[in-house]
Amino acid sequence: MELFLQQALSGVATGGIYALMALALVMIFQAIRHLNFAQGEMAMFSTFIAWQLLAWGLPYWLAFVLAVALSFLGGALIGRLVFLPIRNAPVLSHIAVFVALLLIFNSLAGFIWDFSIKPFPSPFGTAPLFGGLIGAHQAGMLLVILVVVAFLFWFLRFTRIGLALRAAAANPESARLVGIKVDRMMALGWGMASAIGAVAGIMIAPVVFLEPNMMLSILLYGFAGAVLGGLSSPGGAVLGGFIVGVAENLAGTYVPVVGHELKLPIALFLIVAVLVVRPEGLFGRGTVERV
Amino acid sequence: MTTLLKVRGLEASYGDLTVLRRLDFDLLEGGATTLLGANGAGKTTTLRALTGMTRRSGEIVFDGTSITRMSTEQIVRLKVAHVPEGRGTLTAFSVEENLKLGAITRPSGREIAADMERVYGHFPVLKARRRQQAGTLSGGEQQMLAIGRALMLRPRLMLLDEPSFGLAPAIVAGLLEMLDRVRREDGVSLLIVEQNVELALGIADHACVLETGRIVKAGTSEAIRADADVRRAYLGY
């Protein structure tokens, strides 16, 4: 029983990271109707920026806030300078640009900070909490994730700019007709997604260690979470991320053949299964409409 | 009455196809003008050109400011509300969110809540359905919502693209009567595109007749109604 609780809780904690990645993916999917394959590498690059700021001697939380803010700006710039000009281009052009961004960020990180594996500090420490049920870093990470998700929910649901952002994503032409600056909203969506990814990268780095390929499998789990929850629903994507985290951990513990090696294929299997059986995801809103 | 909107040599095209050829017309402040014409005459394109939703050239002056080179967002911020063909409803959003979006360019505050109550006063059915997803409303209710959303801007000029489309006659009469009231009480100028000529001439004081992208006749509603060609082509007597 204790092993089960331990594994489930630890699954919730890593699931939170998948949830953030899923959320970032959904924010951009809502804005441009494409899945950002470079989301993981962008998050990795943000994490390196945080590492660099720490190496320069900045206090942890200042480095955290600065890295997230810089990521927001960088994401907004990418949206504005790269994706706005190609917004009407076909899917393949987008995929080419995503792959290019992925490779650029990956090699740039390797070039600037080299490919060696670096430890990344945790502000919460490693002490076991609640009689060893959960580690201090996992608990702190979960808290940060919940704060980010709660803030985003409030922002999108209850602020006017959140309403404008959702309207610009749902129907750009109608949004323009009420005076919303749709291009600016698109940049805002990119910036927010990039900032969310930065939080995920900085929080998971003490666990997986820092190196240019650190986000590869995490992004796949994020994809699985986003697809499972539904690409049209930020809340669903968050839940999907948590579900994937718990399922992955429990399967790795209790299903002998899965073990550690087969954890990742579970995520891929999940993506395929959801797309075949229920393409709109568990919580994707099939909007009701009169015809 | 002063001129609110001055249009000179307005042209618009889709690719190689020229849809509007050198349109000239004026709208008076507080007036109601209707654009009449058959399908494909360029009525919808005229409205879309005015709010920058279609590539256009020529000169459009709104209240002394040239808006020819402005984007849709900028023109809307000058208090020009466009109720487009298909109504522009955000179907996945609630009725109330749609109304809030209408006022999204205005500074937040108590006035917006008061205006929302006013819209609910005009259309009580919207108040009853305020939390409902807008896509589930009937056609008439969606048209009310579209007009309500436009009113939330506190517009000086409203462009309406076939407000009667697909609606029962009783509902249309109610909507037009409401628009006429808004025009008289708040001084909102109206530019209405309509297929239903009888209705349009009933509410408008001026009318322009479009044929294949040109204005072939313009004048007061009485003059247009009395015109023999118009009667034969559009009124059927």
Pick the residue from chain B with its C-alpha nearest to A175. B101
Query: Cβ separation of B92 and A285 shorter than 8 Å?
Result: yes
Residues of A in contact with B72 (CB under 8 A): 176-177
- Give the position of tokens 């559009």: B234
State the best of B90, B112, B116, B143 to mutate against chain A, taking most chain A CBs within 10 Å. B90
**Interval A140-155 mean pLDDT:** 94
pLDDT tens for chain B, 237 residues long, are 689 999 999 999 888 888 898 999 999 999 999 999 888 889 999 999 999 999 999 999 999 999 999 999 999 999 999 999 888 899 989 999 999 999 999 998 899 999 999 999 999 999 999 999 999 999 889 999 999 999 999 999 999 999 888 888 888 888 888 999 999 999 999 999 988 888 889 899 999 999 888 998 889 999 988 888 877 777 766
Nearest to A152 by CA among A235, A73, A226: A235
Residue count of chain B: 237
Residue B237 is predicted with a pLDDT of 64
Q: Is the pLDDT of residue A287 over 60?
A: no
Q: Is the pLDDT of residue A259 over 70?
A: no
Residue A286 is predicted with a pLDDT of 55
Residue B127 is predicted with a pLDDT of 96
What was the ipTM of the complex prediction? 0.90
> E strand or H helix at B7, and its extent?
strand B3-14
| pLDDT band at residue A188 under the 50/70/90 scheme | very high
| pLDDT band at residue A135 under the 50/70/90 scheme | confident
**pTM, to two decimals:** 0.89
Average pLDDT over chain A reads: 90
Under 8 Å CB pairs connecting chains A and B tally to: 75
CB-based contact, B30 to chain A, within 8 Å:
no
Q: Tell me, what DSSP letter sits at residue A176? A: H
CA A142 and chain centroid, separation: 14
Residues of A in contact with B90 (CB under 8 A): 167, 170-171, 174-175
Supply B126's token pair.
Answer: 């919207």
Give the model confidence (pLDDT) of A13-56 as tens digits.
Answer: 999 999 999 999 999 998 888 889 999 999 999 999 999 999 99
Task: Of A123-137, A250-264, B124-138, give the lowest mean pLDDT range.
Answer: A250-264
State the best of A177, A181, A231 to mutate against chain B, taking most chain B CBs within 10 Å. A177
A282 contacts: CB under 8 Å, gap ≥ 6: A228, A229, A230, A236, A239, A240, A274
Residue A18 is predicted with a pLDDT of 95
Residue B37 is predicted with a pLDDT of 87
Angle between helices A182-208 and A136-158 (to 10 degrees): 170
- Give the position of tokens 């000086």: B156
Residue A130 is predicted with a pLDDT of 79
Query: Cβ separation of B136 and A290 shorter than 8 Å?
Result: yes
Give the model confidence (pLDDT) of A77-96 as tens digits.
Answer: 999 999 998 988 898 999 99
Q: How far is CA A147 from CA A18, A140, A230, in A?
A: 15, 11, 22
Query: Cβ separation of A178 and B82 shorter than 8 Å?
Result: no
Q: Is the pLDDT of residue A256 over 80?
A: no
**Domain boundary assignment for chain A:** 17-214
Pick the residue from chain A with its C-alpha nearest to B89. A174
Residue A215 is predicted with a pLDDT of 92
Query: Cβ separation of B101 and A175 shorter than 8 Å?
Result: yes
Query: Cβ separation of A163 and B138 shorter than 8 Å?
Result: no
CB-based contact, B102 to chain A, within 8 Å:
yes
Supply A198's token pair.
Answer: 């930065």
Domains for chain B: give ranges and CATH numbers.
3-235 (3.40.50.300)
Query: Cβ separation of A170 and B84 shorter than 8 Å?
Result: no
State the best of A165, A171, A173, A174 to mutate against chain B, taking most chain B CBs within 10 Å. A174
Residue A279 is predicted with a pLDDT of 78
Query: Cβ separation of B104 and A160 shorter than 8 Å?
Result: yes
Pick the residue from chain A with its C-alpha nearest to B149. A178
Q: Which residues of A107-139 are buried (b: 16+ CB within 10 A; e: fewer)?
A: eebeeebeeeeeebebbbeeeebeeeebbebbb
Residue A142 is predicted with a pLDDT of 93
Residue B28 is predicted with a pLDDT of 92
Q: Is the pLDDT of residue A179 over 60?
A: yes
